[in-house]
Amino acid sequence: MMDEAIKTHKETTFGWVLMWQEFRQRQAARRAVRRVADEARLAAIRDATLAKPMRYLGLR
């Protein structure tokens, strides 16, 4: 009886550990995708601002 309880507890704990690891992996993957998207967005903004003429550098 006690062996079954310990076995069940170990299995349950192991399940929680696996669930937590999978959650962290998904979270890291989401962060990586978001980082790439943010970098692309910032690069597009940077390129758009460089294409505009800088009037303050012109002759006065």
pTM above 0.75, yes or no: no
**DSSP designation for 55:** G
Q: How many CB atoms lie within 10 A of CB 6?
A: 9
Count of domains forming the chain: 1
**Residue numbers of the domain that contains 41:** 23-49
> Which one has a higher pLDDT value, 38 or 57?
38
Is residue 29 in a domain?
yes
Report whether pLDDT(1) > 60: no
Is residue 3 in a domain?
no
In one letter, which amino acid is 32? Answer: A
- pLDDT, one tens digit per residue, over 24-42 is 999 999 999 999 999 999 9
Is residue 8 in a domain?
no
Is residue 9 in a domain?
no
> Scanning the structure block, which residue is given the tokens 């978001």?
34
Is residue 18 in a domain?
no
Is residue 16 in a domain?
no
**DSSP designation for 58:** S
